[in-house]
A and B are shown apart, each in its own frame.
Chain A
Amino acid sequence: MPVSTTARGTPIWRLRTTRAQWLGYLAWLFGLCLFLLCWKVISDNTMWVFVEDAGRQGSDLIRRMMPPEWQFAQQLWKPMWDTLNIATLGTLLGIAMAFPVAFLAARNTTPHPLIRSLAMVIIVASRSINSLIWAMLLVTILGPGVLAGIIAIALRSIGFVGKLLYEAIEEIHPTPVEAISATGASRLQVMNYGVLPQVMPAFAGISIYRWDINIRESTVLGLVGAGGIGLQLNASINSLAWDQVSVIFVMIFATVLVSEWISARVRHAVI
């Protein structure tokens, strides 16, 4: 009881009981030990000589980045266009595949529990694996280039869009669906009239949100050879041309800000 009585008979109030208090301390202690243990693993694997040097390295890095070599921007338009295409086409491809998967995964629209688990596996696998890993794999399979990037982005987007969309489908009002079934409509017609209008705004919002994230992700796909501005970034870093790297950073920064702004505006309009 939070309220207990002292030896003299006056009631005192505490937020927690003694037992709960001790359990709380114990949990904190356990967490702290775990954290320290993890820290030890990291520190064992670190060359501390390099870390002591970090300040100097950092300032050195900044000095070499400044001033940015602005003329280099001329060569970046084509990679940037590729990056945008990877993000946009990848998103389109991804949502096209995610749409049916979400309907198969939602409890109220799935034709069979077995198919539902299959759809869930697709969603989980796609969500767990970063687009960069997908890109790495696809580059070894398809060869370096924009195509690998587009497919990598698409594969990663299936899980994201699929998960959010199937959750939206599970949250729709059941009564309109019931009413449409009661008219004698077929299964597809019930989806088209009862379910689709209810999830359309969510679907549009999720897609544009994913597009925004994909812009960000497609800027780095080039690091593993999957096209876009990341290729330039990789080349500049390898040749230690840090003044070019800073130009690329500025470009990425600006693009991401603009895409975020567009995405926020569109989502505001549809919801």
Chain B
Amino acid sequence: MNRQTLAAQGHWRRPAFIAKPWLRWALVLGAVAYLAVAIGTIEVNWARVAEGMTRGLNFVAAFAQPDFLSRRGDIIDGLLESLTMTLTSTVIGVALAIPVGLGAARNIAPWPIYLLCRSIITVSRTFQEIIIAILFVVMFGFGPLAGMITLAFATVGFMAKLLAEDIEDLDWRQVEAVRATGASWWQTMNHAVQPQVMPRLIGLSMYRLDINFRESAVIGIVGAGGIGATLNTSISRYEYDTSAAILLIIIAIVLLCEYGSSHVRRWTQ
């Protein structure tokens, strides 16, 4: 009522996003205080930054003339390893993710299996690929096998979670209709669940392929094979023109992957 009479006299302000004034101010003050403290605890060595600026410029300049050739052999080996790791780990990961995903769907799995599968998913999703890679490198030795297992493990967590969510909100009437014909558990999965989740599963696998490639470029840092090792070496040697070349290749492959997967997704839907 008050706001109406005010508006009639020409006084109108937008209603505040958070209605309670004390809460509004508390949030604003809290945010400002946090920012002040957080920025205050950043220690910056400005002399070092100033010194590094020339290197930064070198790096930017390197993109203008990337050097694909002088470390050609290393780059090709690294890329080949990365690509093979990507492909095998995605296939293995997706294959393992399907049973785990089924087990982690509340509506079709019994309690103990549900808990087990959910904990696998949580562990796999919480830790960065690189942490897992460290452990697997210790176990399996340096090389692409450790990288592949790492990526497969991460794929299981990613895919199984999304698959389980998909299964949890699928159209239950179709499942009941198939069940009503007297189908067994396997037949129900094949005729009612699979057709509903398949297109998205394929789309997600393509997406994960893309992610796995990007990740394969970093796990080499801890010795798990792939282009990451080459990149790491080139950066620590300040050979920015080679690093720029590798980064450009990575960007190109990711673009290609995305282009391909958008086609596959359109084709499956």
Contact = CB atoms under 8 A, between A and B. Distances in A.
The answer on direct contact between A and B (beta carbons under 8 Å) is yes
Interface size class of B (residues with CB under 8 A): 35 or more
B144 A129 contact: no
B255 A38 contact: no
A147 interface: yes
B135 interface: yes
Contacts, number: 151
Contacts of B34: 88
B6 interface: no
Interface in B141-157: 141-145, 148
B105 interface: no
A5 interface: no
A143 B48 contact: yes
B179 interface: no
Nearest to B34: A88
B191 to A, nearest CB: 12
A73 interface: no
Interface stretch (B66-74, B123-131, B166-174, B199-207): B123-131
A51 B145 contact: yes
Contacts of A224: 221
Contact of A42 (B49, B84, B122, B235): B84
Interface of B: 34, 38-39, 41-45, 48-49, 51-53, 55-56, 59, 80-81, 83-85, 87-88, 91, 122-123, 126-128, 130-131, 134-135, 138-145, 148, 214-215, 217-218, 221-222, 225, 228, 231-232, 235-236, 238, 243, 247, 250-251, 254-255
Interface of A: 34-35, 37-39, 41-43, 45-47, 49-51, 53-54, 57-58, 61, 81-82, 85, 88-89, 124-125, 127-130, 132-133, 136-137, 140-143, 145-147, 150, 216-217, 219-220, 223-224, 233, 237, 249, 252-253, 256-257
Given A38-B88, A50-B141, A57-B139, 10 more contacts: A88-B38, A89-B42, A124-B255, A129-B250, A132-B218, A137-B59, A143-B48, A249-B127, A252-B127, A253-B126
